[in-house]
Chains A and B, each alone.
Chain A
Amino acid sequence: MIDAFIGMGQGFLIAMTPQNLYYCFIGCLFGTIVGVLPGIGPLAGISLLLPATFGMQPVSALIMLAGIYYGAMYGGSTTSILMNIPGEAASVVTCIDGYQMARKGRAGAALFISAWGSFIGGNLSVLGIALLAPALADFAVKFGPAEMFAIMILAMMLVGYVGSGSVLKTMCMVVLGLFLGTIGMDIMTGYLRMTYGVKELADGIGFIPVAMGLFGIGEILSSTQDTLVREVLKPKLRELLPNREELRRSWGPIGRGSILGFFIGLLPGAAHIIAGFASYALEKKLAVRPEEFGTGRIEGVAGPETANNAATGGAMIPFLSLGIPSGPATAVMMIALLIHGIKPGPLLIQENPEVFWGVIASMYIGNVVLLILNLPLVGIFVNLLRIPFRLLFPIILTICLIGVYSVNASPAELWIMLISGIVGFVLRRFQFDVAPLILALIIGPMMELAFRQSLMMSGGSFKVFVGSPISVTLISVSALLLMGSVVRPLLAARSPKTHL
């Protein structure tokens, strides 16, 4: 413990040199821009700046790159709240209540709580890393394919909670999303599934085109149908900030989100996108009036946003302590270290303590920088909303086109986006939830991979899925959740007023 404090102290000294502060700021700024711009994600941002770090000190390089990583997390929530367009997978959940809050004129509050929650979540996770890194490092390694499959099943149950309204409808969306995730080239055999010769589909239906379509275009099509005139609320400064009631209700979700997000972030693979909707599900479960979720409850923003940033911190642990990347972004950071001659791995803390602690300290500083960056931006962003909707929505559509095209320069993806938009419109009309569909779309391939890997490992025996304490626990929890969500509506259906 003392070592940790000494280390942190050393880390802060390093992280707070003017040079490193500068790099941290650049990274966070770049990351925020990257996060706000729909389409371009942290991986692209990190790849772009990686060559620029070549002449830098390893610590500085990693500080800047890590800044991009969590800057993007902050930025992604902005578009979710303002335009109902998720900047990346982790921000999908924020769209649900965040955008509704914006519609009600509470965009400022949502953005503020989002930044504030991210700050706290990020900091608590940094603290967690500093204190618990050695103990927790092994945690990630215990998760093999069977455990990952169990997590994915649990994730699907949680996604079910994200939906409002009928359980059956949400479950249909989830399974449909999983199914759509199988379109494309099968990773294991190279077999093309349902692509009908469209080569862009070989990689599967991409998240970006579908997200922009389902959420962005779908929402625009729906809302322009009724009226193009939206009440433009001119918020006073006081209204930009959350009111006392909102603040009071946010503490719980923020606290819970931090812990939940931190531990989920430890999981290997891109499991940390689950953090957002795990937190949403938790808050919904704990809330007094859960049916209000989806109409603009601040808990639906505070919890997930905190959890996302805490997960980002948690995801750095396997990377820093074990040298195991937990996703593409950390994989590239690992390469960055290798390029600078630093070997990531358990010896990092011994051989290059200045890198280890320097990065951790810079994460704390990065959080502060991002908070300072984002808070004034709240005012600017909210003012963007004052632009009349009939002027704004074509601009949003154009940005969607740019965003999707910028990823792969593929007109086919533009079509996918448009079709998803139409689908999103239809779904809204029929009152089916959109968020579970896209979350399942992302989780689907991971789930299938883990499933097949497990069977390959065990030689075809299904016992592998209950082989370890971790997987047994996870599957039991999932089963309980499933029974809960099936049984409750059945009981409620007995009363004549409700409909399934």
Chain B
Amino acid sequence: MSRRVLLFLVLSLVFVSPALVRAEEYPARPITLINPLPPGGTLDLQGRAFAAVVEKYLGKPMVVVNKTGAAGAVGSLTVAQAKPDGYTLGLGWSAQTALIINEIAEGRKPSFTTDDFIVLGRFTDSSPVFLVPFNSPWKTIQQALEDIKAHPNTYSFSSGGIQSISHLPMEALIVEMGLKLRHVPFQGGGPAFTALIGGHVQCSAQYPGTSLPKIKARQLRVLASFSENRLKNYEDVPTFKELGYNVFHSSWVGMVAPKGTPAPIVERLRTLVKQVTSDPAFVDVIEKAGDEVDYADAETTRKAWGKEYERLQKLLSRMEREKKQ
């Protein structure tokens, strides 16, 4: 009997040994890109467009995985806690900081902070536009704002979720103009659009990429944009700023890696972001969708992140004060 056992042990070692011999060069396996927001939104589009081009430069594919929950907190936490070996990356976006700020404001220790991430680069930096259903009685933004002011708590807007990139710009508008507009959060941009198209809410702030097809299809109309200057593809849409309202919002989308990822891998990835964002295939997708690629390297993005943290902190504390009134 012991001979059988010995034979078995030897055989199993033979089978097992190949697994023990490993030579790893990054990337040796597909890379996972976590999207903490629901599928079908701006982040999803950019993430998947990015991932689709990656294999050309890295030799291994990148797969986007949605890990949704709590306006992106669940997915962000997953990235922050992932093994820092370069095989799990995440999408970063401006409103991520809002999640952190909110936790602190509620007196809780945030489950992750911006220090848990290494910034790899930025894809786009876009500003949303103010949308209304196609047969809305509001023809201009001034009309809309006046109407909302005249009828407090009558109208509502849809967003992709609390603290989402479609919620915060509207809050900026509300706080600046002293409006009383009801907020109806949905799970992601998709349902938020649907609610707007169906007329269940009266307005929404969404991003140029996902909005353009619906505007062209005459399901929605755009009244103003939250940007500094008029947007490409939206040349005849006035900005809030040029009309005299001090309202501005922009959201960037980029890629991050968990803290502790080794430096050579980080460098490789940072170069990758630069490469992919200048790749015509990627640019084509983004532009066809009505958006603009706006690459920024890690340094710039990190600085912008910090500035945004301050801006959002101010906005969120104003929102708190308004609520208490």
Whether A322 pairs with B66 at a CB distance below 8 angstroms is no
User: 23 A-B Cβ contacts within 8 A?
Assistant: A50-B48, A50-B51, A51-B48, A54-B53, A143-B198, A145-B184, A145-B195, A187-B187, A188-B162, A190-B102, A190-B103, A202-B77, A322-B197, A323-B213, A325-B39, A325-B190, A338-B209, A338-B288, A343-B217, A344-B213, A345-B216, A345-B219, A347-B217
Known: A203-B74, A341-B285. A457 touches B55 (CB 8 A): no
Q: Is the CB of A331 within 8 A of B51?
A: no
Complex partner residue of B70 from A202, A324, A341, CB under 8 angstroms: A202
In whole angstroms, how far apart are the Cα atoms of A344 and B193 in the complex? Answer: 13
In the bound complex, how far is the Cα of B68 from the Cα of A199, in angstroms?
14
Collect the chain A residues with CB atoms within 8 Å of residue B173's CB.
none
Q: By the criterion CB–CB under 8 Å, are B40 and A459 in contact?
A: no
Kindly list chain B residues whose C-beta atoms are within 8 Å of the C-beta of A143.
198
Interface size class, chain A: 35 or more
A343 to B284, CA, bound (A): 13
Query: Is A144's CB within 8 Å of the partner chain B?
Result: yes
CB <8 Å contact, B217 and A345 = yes
* Closest CB in chain B relative to A209 CB, distance in Å: 16
Tell me whether B185 and A453 are in contact (CB under 8 A): yes
Once the chains bind, are A347 and B198 in contact (CB under 8 Å)? no
- B62 is an interface residue with CB less than 8 A from chain A: yes
Extra contacts besides A145-B200, A268-B194, A339-B45 (18): CB < 8 Å: A43-B66, A50-B52, A54-B53, A144-B200, A188-B185, A199-B111, A324-B190, A324-B197, A339-B285, A343-B212, A343-B217, A343-B289, A347-B213, A347-B216, A347-B217, A456-B182, A456-B185, A459-B182
Q: A449 CA to B218 CA in the complex, in Å?
A: 29
B315 CB contacts on chain A under 8 angstroms: none
Q: Are A141 and B38 in contact (CB under 8 A)?
A: no
A185 and B40 contacting across the interface, CB-CB below 8 Å? no
CB-based contact A202/B156 at 8 Å:
no
Known: A190-B102, A324-B197. A47 touches B65 (CB 8 A): yes
Residues A339 and B49 in contact, CB atoms below 8 Å apart: yes
Distance of B200 from chain A, by nearest CB (Å): 3
Do A190 and B153 touch (CB < 8 A)?
no
**Interchain CA distance A347-B103 in the complex, whole Å:** 43
Chain A positions within 8 Å of B162 at CB level: 187-190
5 tightest A-B contacts by CB?
Answer: A331-B40, A144-B200, A343-B213, A141-B198, A331-B39
Asked whether, in the complex, the Cβ of B44 is within 8 Å of the Cβ of A190, the reply is no
CA distance A15 to B167 in the complex (A): 42
What are the residues of chain B within 8 A of A202 when measuring CB–CB? 69-70, 73-74, 77
Q: Tell me, rounded to whole Å, the shortest Cβ–Cβ distance linking B32 to chain A.
A: 10
In contact, B285 and A346 (Cβ under 8 angstroms): no
Question: Looking across the interface, which residue of chain B has its beta carbon closest to that of A138?
Answer: B198
The reply on B230 being an interface residue by CB < 8 A is no
Q: Are B200 and A323 in contact, with the CB atoms below 8 A?
A: no
Q: How many Å lie between the Cα of A43 and that of B213 in the bound state?
A: 24
Cβ of A136 under 8 Å from chain B:
no
Interface size counted on chain B using CB atoms at 8 A = 63
Give A184 to B193 CA distance when docked, in angstroms. 26
Task: Flag if A338 contacts B217 (CB, 8 Å).
Answer: no
Is residue A500 within 8 Å, beta carbon to beta carbon, of the partner chain? no
Cα separation A269 to B66 with both chains bound (whole Å): 17
Q: A48 within 8 Å of B by Cβ? A: yes
Contact with A along B137-181 (1 / 0, CB 8 A): 000000000000000010010000110000000000000000000
B265 adjacent to chain A (CB < 8 Å): no
Residues of chain A within 8 A of B65, CB atoms compared: 44, 47
Residues of A contacting B48 with CB < 8 Å? 50-51, 332, 335-336, 339
Closest B residue to A347 by CB, please name it: B217
Bound together, the chains give a CA A415 to CA B212 distance in angstroms of 46
Q: Which residues of B contact A186 (CB under 8 A)?
A: 70
- Kindly identify, within residues 316 to 362 of chain A, every residue whose CB is under 8 Å from any CB belonging to chain B: 322-325, 328, 331-332, 334-336, 338-341, 343-347
Chain B 192-214 near chain A by CB (<8 Å), digits 1 or 0: 01110110110000000100111
- Alpha-carbon separation in the docked complex, A55 to B200 (Å): 39
Which residues on the A side are within 8 Å of B111 (C-beta)?
A: 199
* Cβ contact within 8 Å between A141 and B197: yes
Name the CB-closest residue of A to B48. A335
Q: How far, in angstroms, from A340 to B193 measured CA to CA in the complex?
A: 21
Closest to B216 in A: A347
B83 to chain A, nearest CB (A): 10
Contact B69 A185 (CB under 8 A): yes
In the complex, which of the residues A199, A341, A345 contacts B284, with contact meaning CB atoms closer than 8 Å? A341
